[in-house]
Structure 1
Amino acid sequence: MAQDFSQLDKPVQFLKGVGPKRSETFGRMGIVTARDLLYYVPRRYDDASTIQPLSSLDVGMDATAVGRVRSKGVIPTRSGFRIFQAVLQDDSGMITCAWPGQPWLDRRIRKGDLLLVTGPVKFFHGRQLQPREFTLLGREEEEDEEVFGTIFVSYPASEDMPQWVLRRVFSRNLDWLLKQIDTEEYLGPSERTELKVISLSSALEALHRPTSLTQVEAGRRRLAFDELFFLQLVQAQVRFQQREAQPGIQFKRTNELIKPLHSSLPFDLTGAQARVLREIYADMSSDRRMSRLLQGDVGSGKTVVALFAILLALESGHQAVLMAPTEILAEQHARKIRNMLDPLGVELLLLTGSMTAGQKAEAHSAL
């Protein structure tokens, strides 16, 4: 039976506006297929409602604005320092933007480019915005492409793959990509309602073409759910395969060690400790390999629970190891547990990283 082929798995070069040469650049960015492109989500979102008209920018403000480059050039200083400047214009007016020490931007930014700039407004021969970050939203020759929206999106870009090219490729292909991913939705309407997540196609559209920042957050939440869900699914599959390939040891409880230790404790186990021990003993007595995380506050009695689990292994004729993250903690556990196990005739061995090679060899031979 032939394996189903998704249109999203076809090479990115066959998408509109890509081609063989540009696909090589995409490949260096980790974008090989149409699916890779769809999941190449923006790194930044700017709400258009926070975009300030250029005429409203005052000295001292930290501003985000959008304007088209009307003139540009590199300004030399007496000390030899070079400053790239560009005059931006929008419907309200103009402002000078300056990038000190970045004359190379003169080759990157063209007259007519549409820029999204963010930075402080200072005074130097008039108002001057010094962008700490800028995004090239579009070229003047690409006026047919959609540039404006309620939210400005910015993708991780490079000199070989500038922002305006990415935006243009998404503008031409996003509707088709979303149509394809819609066929891969695995959650039904009732399940999405219960989980409080939106559909996969809606999530990706919200990330690439949002109308509000709330929509962006909903899209991120869905992708985060998918990532965690499939991670758990893969781990569950691995655990199942491991159980099938190599069943766990079925430990047998005799109470030869467990009961005396329980009787010797100067305190009663808490309800939580007793409940957890029942669950651990059930796991260890079955043929399933146990994979369990015990969580508790400092001093809540996790070590005692681990000790009872160790004794079940010893009663079945096996050995057990208790690992600690530091030597100090290992030594503390060793002293405490030795005092509890000596009356039972159980031998305890401490092995630490600072031991000499001879001491380690002696310890290994005693195991």
Structure 2
Amino acid sequence: MMKLDQISVRQIKGVSAPKEQELHAFGVQTVADLIDYFPFRYEDYRIRELTDVKEGEKVTVLGHVRGAPVLQRYGRTKSRLTCKVEVGQWLVTAVWFNRQFLQDQLVTGREIMLTGKWEQQRLQITVSDSEFPGSGGAAKTGTLQPVYSVGGSITQAWMRKTIRQAMTQYGVMIEEMLPYELVQRHELMGRRDAVQRIHLPDDTKEGQAARRRLVYEELFLFQLKLQAYRALNRKRNDGIAHRIESETIRQFAATLPFELTDAQKKVINEILTDMRRSSCMNRLLQGDVGSGKTVVAAITLYAAVKAGHQGALMVPTEILADQHMRSLQRLFADMGIEVALLTGSLTERKRRDVLAGLQMGMIDIAVGTHALIQEDVFFRSLGLVVVDEQHRFGVNQRSVLRRKGMNPDVLTMTATPIPRTMAITAFGDMDVSTIKERPIGRKPIKTYWVKHSMMERVLGFIRKEVSKGRQTYIICPLIEESEKLDVQNAIDLYVQTQQSFPDLRVGLLHGRLTASEKDSVMSAFGVNETQVLVATTVVEVGVDVPNATLMIIMDAERFGLSQLHQLRGRVGRGEHQSHCILVADPKSETGRERMKVMTDTDDGFEVSRRDLEIRGPGDFFGTKQSGLPEFRLADMVADYEVLEQAREDAADLTARDDFWTSEVFAKVRQVLQKDPFFQGEQLD
């Protein structure tokens, strides 16, 4: 017997070949796709009394035509049609624009349903929709009508009719996908009923129950893939069981120029425990800016090398790669560990030397950008891959690096603190370690929001910090002038800053400089040869100058919250009190809200939570390669409790032996079998 996902949408009565092609553009190929094409909201055509309606509110009322309609024409195509309608105890004026064809149907005494904006002072309804009950067709009066995402020649009316037709023809073939025990435990509506009611609910409560069922199913099936991946990965023993002596790690930690925090010690233990296992580590390390993730990565890489293997650290920019390489070389100065840089700007001769060193095992740790994943890069024994700012890399890039070794352990890191709901969705196949504690001696960064009219005071503050021997960043959004955006640009700002401080050295850093020019600018700032650095967001991630204590962000409303927090994290990295000044005149409520969040808190996890609320999950990372799924119905913010429950249920099921064999779970196992990983393909 054919399944709904095997029947072409063309088989539905009323779907012509042209309409079929238009549906394909919406991702609708089969009957299953169409009945799972859920509405995103409803039009409410339930009848209300005008006495309960507020001025300006949208309402649906039932009345009778009283008096002849009046038609006024404006130009060739525009018209205004008015008619008196008795609604309960009220005699109101109904107004239609460009609906002259209704004139002959407005017969005195005829019953009519009106939907539109109620203007009580004028006793008028500006009609957006109307119908004559009892005149045939699919009556909307008294119903909640679904609203779909449509376009082209596909209208709301056509989509509603076609989905109803699909349910009539094929509704009996809708099968229950969820295990009965879950449906019963969570008191969920059956799938067939839920699909029927999501498209045409009798009332709001029924629609909510249908949505709850389908949201749970969507989140459960997604989590099932992640948890099954984890369960099977743990059972496999084809990874590297690193032989790591705890005493060796303690001795190395004792050589560090600072004391590890309790949070760092905890996550290091979690990572080393994973590395000792014969199954592959797949762990996410998240922590706020400046929380000390880099030293955790260094200890992890040290452990891999001491166990006889090589390590790779992949970062998104050459500036960051160079900085990490220098940091690791300092930490491993007396350890006999060879660290090399591999980026696109190396000379051909230097690159050949690095490639040979990696292949022969003479280089222990490679730090680089995406240059690490090029075809001619080979390792002698790659045991650990660390990916920094992992959301900057696509899934394919990370998996290519992983295949450079024989199932190496993978540690991914992010300085974008991810709310728990986001972490267990985007990275549900990973174990998550979190550093929330500040390094010992770190002071909170004081943040202020000022308007452009206060720039003189800001310049005075720069002068005050520099007089103490400190340094300042000034960040702006664009490299050069744009007619579209009224924003300060780096080149102009650089000139203005030089004019404001003729006695100071001012640097300029932006993405169009060559790698060697960037190195030169950052080196000068790093040793305080340059007191003020004007830059674009190339300094957003990882740049570490402890003496810089002042971050000024021009046109701050142009940046997202996560980016603002990252930029703020470039200061506050030393012993001195640091400040961040947001210069902004936001015109939108969102812009003002961002400024308020930044001045309210410097806790990255709280910033992240508020960012998720403001922007929604789809834009949270600002990149399509974030790995976030696009759900039909579920919303990770609104449905976080369902998400947590779905994850827990999926983890419990996949840990059970009978899940993999029992006929009871055959339907959900079929969902897994469609996934490339469970067909034997190695996924990241």
Q: TM-score normalised to the size of structure 1?
A: 0.70
CA displacement, residues 1-44 of structure 1 (integer Å, 9 cap, x when unaligned): xxx53256433344455566755554454433321221121232
Q: Check the 8 A contact 1:8/1:180 in 2, yes or no.
A: no
Note if contact 2:113-2:132 (Cα within 8 Å) is conserved in structure 1. no
Q: Which residue of 2 aligns with 1:154?
A: 147
2:295 to 304, 311, 317: 304
One-letter identity of the residue aligned with 1:279: E
CA RMSD of aligned residues (A): 4.7
Please list, as runs of the form range in 1=range in 2, the aligned pairs for 1:125-140 lying within 5 A after superposition: 129=126
SS at match of 2:333: helix
2:272 to 263, 278, 281: 281
Match of 1:35 in 2: 32
**Aligned CA distance change for structure 1 residues 321 and 195 (closer, same or farther; 3 Å):** farther
Alignment partner, residue 95 of structure 2: 96
What whole-Å deviation, never above 9, does each CA across 1:303-337 have from its counterpart, x for those lacking one? 23222221221012222122333444444433433
Q: Which amino acid aligns with 1:37?
A: L
1:10 matched residue in structure 2: 7
Structure 1 position 151, deviation (Å): 1.9
Deviation at 1:260, TM superposition (A): 2.6
Matching residue of 1:338: 329
Mapped partners of 1:118, 1:356: distance in 2: 70
Task: State the Cα deviation string for residues 123-163 of structure 1 (Å, max 9, x = none).
Answer: 99x9683x8xx67x879997143423442322233453332
| Alpha-carbon offset, residue 276 of structure 1 | 3.0
What is the identity percentage for the equivalent residue pairs of Structure 1 and Structure 2? 27
Match of 2:161 in 1: 168
Change (3 A) 1:300 1:88: farther
Post-superposition shift, 1:357? 5.5
Offset at residue 199 of structure 1 (A): 3.4
Distance in 1, Cα, partners of 2:314 & 2:97: 59
- Show CA shifts across 1:239-269 (max 9, x none): 6788899922222224685243122235554
| Alignment gaps of 5+ in structure 1 | 100-104
Rounded to whole Å, the distance in 1 between the matches of 2:10 and 2:103 is 27
What SS does structure 1 have at the residue aligned with 2:312?
coil
Q: Which moved more, 1:85-94 or 1:67-76?
A: 67-76
- In 1, distance between residues paired with 2:105 and 2:281? 65
Separation (CA, whole Å) in 2 of partners of 1:76 and 1:293: 64
2:315 corresponds to: 324
Asked if the contact 1:72/1:84 (under 8 Å) is kept, the reply is no
1:225 Cα offset (Å): 3.0
Describe the shift of the 1:327–1:312 C-alpha distance in structure 2 as closer, same or farther (beyond 3 A). same
Distance 1:120 1:47, change over 3 A: closer
Equivalent residue runs for 1:215-226 within 5 Å: 215-226=206-217
2:178 maps to 186
Once residues 35 and 249 of structure 1 are traced to their aligned partners in structure 2, the CA distance between those partners, rounded to angstroms, is: 43
Matched, 1:249 2:240: yes
Residue 350 (1) aligns with residue 341 (2): yes
Tell me the equivalent position of 2:498.
none
Summarize the Cα distance change of 1:143–1:159 in structure 2 as closer, same or farther, 3 Å threshold. farther
Total equivalences in the alignment: 346
Read off the aligned partner of 1:83 and give its amino acid letter: K
Q: Structure 1 71/264 Cα, relative in aligned 2: closer, same or farther at 3 Å?
A: farther
The code of the aligned residue for 1:95 comes to A
Give, as a single letter, the amino acid of the residue that structure 2 aligns with 1:96: V
CA displacement, residues 332-356 of structure 1 (integer Å, 9 cap, x when unaligned): 4334333221122222223445556
Residues 47 and 212, structure 1, Cα contact 8 Å, conserved in 2: no
Give 3-state SS (helix, strand or coil) of 1:294's partner: strand
CA shift for structure 1 position 85? 4.4
More off after superposition, 18-27 vs 342-351? 18-27
Q: CA deviation at 1:98?
A: 3.0
What TM-score results when the alignment is normalised by the length of structure 2? 0.41
Q: Secondary structure of 1:222's partner?
A: helix
Please tell me the residue identity of whatever aligns with 2:30: T
Q: In 2, Cα distance between the equivalents of 1:115 and 1:157? A: 25
The answer (yes or no) to whether the contact 2:44–2:60 under 8 Å persists in 1 is no
Residue of structure 2 aligned with 1:61, choices 56, 62, 74: 56
Gaps of 5+ in 2: 107-111, 359-684
Q: How does 1:193-204 map to 2 (within 5 A)?
A: 194-195=185-186, 197-204=188-195
